[in-house]
Amino acid sequence: MNSYKYLDSINFPSDLKKISEINLQKVSDELRKETINAVSETGGHLGASLGVVELTVAIHYVFNTPKDKLIWDVGHQSYPHKILTGRKDKIRTLRQGGGISGFTKRIESEYDPFGAAHSSTSISSAFGIAEANKLSNKKDNVIAVIGDGAISGGMAYEAMNNAGASKTKMIVILNDNDMSIARPAGAMGTYLAKIFSGKIYFSLRETIKMIISSFSKRFSAKAGKAEDLFRSAISGGTLFNSLGFYYIGPIDGHDLDSLVPILKNVRDSRYQGPILIHVKTKKGKGYSFAENAKDNFHGVSKFNITTGEQYKSKTKSPTYTKVFSNTLIEHAKNDSKIVAITAAMPDGTGLSDFGKKFPERTYDVGIAEQHAVTFAAGLATENYKPYAAIYSTFLQRAYDQVVHDVAIQSLPVRFAIDRAGLVGADGPTHAGAFDITYLSTLPNFVVMAASNESELVKMINTSVNINDKPCAFRFPRGSGIGVPLPSINEIIEIGKGQIIQEGKKLAILNFGARLNETIKASDNLKKKGINITIVDARFAKPLDENLIWQLATNHESILTIEEGSIGGFGSHVVDFLSKKNLLDSNLKFRSMTLPDVFIDHDTPENMYNQAGLDAKSIEDKVLDLINSNIVLRKQR
């Protein structure tokens, strides 16, 4: 860690409060530098954190955290917050195995009152905490910082609608870092924000209400409307006022001379009700490479501070995301009905390239997965072929729409599920652990998983012509294994797996990207004189029942493998075996799934080792099954 004049003496917000207010910008400059230095060594979400440095300093300087509750939405804005709240010495373990999380996390610190890794949750959780305070007669402040696009999520407006109708005091800070919600902040806007947030204004407002309360209610209502109209007209808060929030702003989120007094005014006001402070910030602020980058260094790998160059692993194999994007583009050239949908992740899902080729057929709906799914369903009713490209972890947010708007109506929406399985540094909140289970349980669904990039191409090819029901194909994060890619004409028969190798006694049914680890395990077993059958199942729904029947009648044991939770592929296989009376003393069945725990962030390799889904664990499971069969035969 570098040596700093001010930051070295700050371990908690109580230390920050000892600094003179005139030196807070110097503290911010050091905090920004330390954030850049730390993330250059660990990788992470840099741009959003750089944008809230001054805001973080101001909040912790003014409010009494952790007694006052501070909630970050989304949590990747919280790196400066972590440095100021007892985790400065651990910041270089960020997102590393055994280190601190890249998001806020309740068990990590009392300064993290609510865990946030998915967006648009802060206002709901803050309102819940504020209501709990009111019920308990506690006067503590509750502050939600919502930013980096999270305000585009519908849940934020649901929460504001609910909170705005209450008389519960809570503070929402809208970190507007590139959303064009209002005109740019200026000197007049800042001056008016100070006035509107000040004790004098609140007192005057309350005095006027007391005076006019003796007159008719009609006069009172008109006076209130006049004040709201005036304030909205000059400060841009019409929407938030309509939702029941007292609006302040927009103000410059990098100007501590404005931020600190406004936050103090809000803290000390007698206004009972929700307040929204609109703060304009610059994502990547203070680091030229982040400011000038297309994504403002939203998510970065380790990088060179001097040049801004990121250190990325070099591989000749394309990523699965790139393979998906390129394949969909090729199909779209020939099929004008293909459209693509993303929920604020055009780069992450690969649809940015698709959008360059077909801008009129590409839809970024914002952080609104529920809308994305039902929007896709609407397109499907008109014989278009919508591809909803959504990470597994984010598709969870739209499960009701997947069931009611897509599956029940058997609409041919195609779900391209990226980041399937364990994803590494983003940890359990971003792991694609549940989609096999939550999709395979639905009638009218085709559920596929690619074992490599070649299989992914075939599954995309196949999906183009599934026109009577929804389908999903899942694929992992990262690069492929280096196999040749087929043409866009090569398809798979629905519900048919493929035999990779034939052996005796034990058969492995693999579903998804653990196939390569399964083959590695088999190679080690061959050295021990053990030859097993390996099948790439391809489909969790519909199952290849004929192939499973064949395996069950020709082998002593069946082992299923999937990078998903219990209740998925293996559960459907054992259900089939049970219904066909194939699970008797002559057949042993075992399944390997992700364990029934949330696995903390680490490298994907270490996470899979911990999950017991690496080649060594597969080999051990096979040996255990074979040995148990030998013992069983001896007992007979």
257's CB contacts (< 8 A; 6+ apart) are none
Active-site residue, 621 included: no
| Pair 616, 523: CB distance under 8 Å | no
Catalytic member of 88, 283, 458, 538? 283
CA-closest candidate to residue 322, choices 344, 275, 354: 354
Q: Which two tokens stand for residue 281?
A: 């910030």
Q: What span, in angstroms and rounded, lies between the C-alpha atoms of 399 and 403? A: 6
Active-site option among 69, 82, 361, 397: 397
Nearest to 36 by CA among 101, 75, 83, 86: 83
Q: Which residue is catalytic, options 30, 34, 369, 453?
A: 369
Structure tokens at 323: 């393979």
Query: Could you count the other beta carbons within 10 Å of the beta carbon of residue 536?
Result: 21
User: Which residues lie closer than 8 Å to 556 by C-beta, 6 or more apart?
Assistant: 505, 506, 586, 587, 588, 629
Judge whether 397 counts as a catalytic residue: yes
DSSP 397: G
What's the token pair of residue 389? 């490209």
Place of tokens 């601190």: 100
**Residue keyed to tokens 């972590």:** 82
The reply to whether 280 belongs to the active site is no
Give the separation between CA 118 and CA 368, rounded to whole angstroms.
11
- Whose CA is closest to 556, among 466, 613, 625? 625
Report in angstroms the alpha-carbon separations of 219 from 201, 225, 231: 20, 10, 18
How far is 477 from 463, CA to CA, in rounded Å? 20
Letter string b/e over residues 420-450, b meaning 16 or more CB atoms within 10 A of that residue's CB: bbbbbbbbbbbbbbbbbbbbbbbebbbbbbb
> Residues of 361-388 as b/e, b for ≥16 C-beta within 10 angstroms?
bbbbbbbbbbbbbbbbbebbeeebbbbb
For residue 560, give the nearest of 581, 585, 543 by alpha carbon. Answer: 543
The catalytic residues are 283, 369, 397
